[in-house]
Chains A and B, each alone.
Chain A
Amino acid sequence: MALTITCPVCGKRNGYEFRYGGEEKGPRPEEKDMTPETWCDYVHMNNCVAGVQQEWWFHRDGCGSWFTISRDTTTNLEQEAQVAPNQEAINDEQV
């Protein structure tokens, strides 16, 4: 299962250098009007897609970047690079 992950800084690297960071779930829900249901949904619930999903990775044994990729969970292959809907905003904030 040759998993490789393309880090935006370090390029394509062995998947074992990275830590999986969960499915892309959009922005953290607003504290205002938060219900146990919406919080639980954000914290715990997954889509568990058998196919292509948008997901977070952390380059643990590398540059320390957090980033998203698209990967097919049935083949472990990365898909064409694309930016997550809210990743641009997050990156902007960090800059």
Chain B
Amino acid sequence: MKKKPMWGKKTKLKSSYDVVIIGGGLHSLATAYYLATQHGITDIAIIEKNYIGFGGAGRNTAIVRANQRTQYNVPLYKEALDLWPVLTKELDYNLMFNNCGNLNLMHSEAAMKAARMTIATAQFHGVESHLIDSKEAKELVPALNISEDITFPIHGAMFHPPGGVVRHDAVVWGLAKGATQKGVEIHQQTEALGIGTKNGKVTSVTTDKGVINTKQVLVSAGGYSASLINGFLGIRLPISVLTIQAMVTQPIKPLLNHVVSSGAYHCYANQTLKGEIATGAHMDQWPNYTTLNTAHYIKHQAEALSEFLPSLRGLRFMRIWGGLADMTPDMAPIMDGNNQIEGFFMDCGWGYFGFKSCSAVGKYMAEFMASNTCPDMLKPFALKRYQEHKLMGETAALVSYSADN
């Protein structure tokens, strides 16, 4: 069978570029795409150790939404959500955006109260989000168990209609195609080994294929960013890298037409277009760089799902996989540039929110790098917020993900 390339041709690594981006995931591809399309900067090399979409880009469960907690995060995710249909047209690539809506179950009066706050924030920022009771939730998802004799009875839900699911691989290929068409080079199987600096300025990036001279470098390598940034530049970050697992069941007839999630059960589920129930939950709570799976986790998923979606009892899990989530103490990302070293930019600490945010973040990081001025949208996300005790309040879920909080 003849292989048809999904995106551009393989090129030879040059000895200098205007911009080098370490990591071939969605934040890197989106930043390169917007640098090329909106700022005319096309002399860009994306350096990827494995292949594009190897990390979080191809391992997330494809859910997108804009119902976060704080006023800094919501507008960013709203813009990301609004960009999916725009990018589908712009890239001429079907990203399979299915805005089926997200239903976030609440299992106590305290949770309902917290949801009211979150919904008020969303509505203030023009994001559609409603509080509904358990009967209304049952009308939306008839498979839900709203009886009172389960571990965490459902009191109500936060319904966020504009959210949904986007095909993550399509976003990887679409952005790669869009960026390479403008002249961006993607170098797979190329490992970054160091960042060279002189007099407080970035001068080069060393790779296993040679040294590249550059004045600007962006590290947006998902879960691997913190280790790379510390290893290359000695900049320590408030990050814990944890494994998050996900799995799909065997395909069944249409049952779930919304993404359903539950904080109390630590479980979310949606039905893919193939009919599988894709489901995931919280993270294994010790830092590691493996993407291995545990029986513990499968058992937890089965227990949670069979309580609030009892018709799934007896279904078989077909596949299970893991990815890395780089968690920060305030569950909000770190986007910074020119602050530690001139020409050094970072975009990391996204935890399990990297996919939902990639489109908008690419746009703003591109603006940041092209103008060397931090856009207002990204200002609250600078690294120095931890020193100034200006942590963001995204930890509304009351779950301790990092050992440090």
Contact = CB atoms under 8 A, between A and B. Distances in A.
Given A16-B296, A44-B329, A44-B404, A50 B237 contact: no
B388 A45 contact: no
A46 B236 contact: yes
Interface in B260-307: 284-290, 292-294, 296
Contact of B238 (A2, A20, A44, A76): A44
B284 A22 contact: no
Interface stretch (B131-139, B239-247, B364-372): B239-247
B399 interface: no
B388 A36 contact: yes
A76 B290 CA distance: 8
B16 interface: no
A91 interface: no
Interface residues of B, number: 31
B290 A74 contact: yes
Contacts, number: 74
Which among A22, A50, A76 has the highest number of chain B CB atoms within 10 Å? A50
A72 B227 CA distance: 14
B226 A44 contact: no
A75 B243 CA distance: 12
Interface string B66-91: 00000000000000000000000000
A46 B237 CA distance: 6
A65 interface: no
A45 B403 contact: no
A90 interface: no
Contacts of B322: 1
A41 B294 CA distance: 33
B124 interface: no
A95 interface: no
A1 B404 contact: no
B205 to A, nearest CB: 18
B158 to A, nearest CB: 30
A16 B288 CA distance: 14
A73 B226 contact: no
Given A1-B290, A73-B289, A48 B387 contact: no
Contact of A48 (B239, B243, B294, B389): B239
Main SS of chain B's interface residues? loop
Interface string A1-36: 111000000000001100111110000000000001
A3 B288 CA distance: 11
A37 interface: yes
Given A44-B386, A50-B224, A1 B292 contact: yes
Contacts of B404: 22, 43-44, 46
B227 A48 contact: yes
A49 interface: yes
Contact of B287 (A1, A2, A73): A73
Nearest to A44: B238
B230 interface: yes
Given A1-B292, A50-B224, A76-B292, A20 B285 contact: yes
A2 B294 CA distance: 7
Contacts of B288: 1, 73-74, 76
A47 interface: yes
Interface in B181-233: 224, 226-227, 230
A40 interface: yes
Given A1-B288, A1-B290, A74-B289, 12 more contacts: A15-B286, A36-B387, A37-B387, A40-B386, A46-B236, A47-B236, A48-B230, A48-B241, A48-B287, A49-B227, A73-B287, A76-B290
27 contacts: A1-B290, A1-B294, A1-B322, A3-B286, A20-B286, A22-B404, A36-B387, A37-B387, A40-B386, A40-B387, A44-B238, A44-B329, A44-B386, A46-B236, A46-B240, A46-B287, A47-B230, A48-B226, A48-B227, A48-B287, A49-B230, A50-B227, A50-B289, A74-B288, A74-B290, A75-B290, A76-B288
Give me the 4 closest cross-chain CB pairs, A-B, nearest first: A1-B292, A44-B238, A48-B226, A45-B236
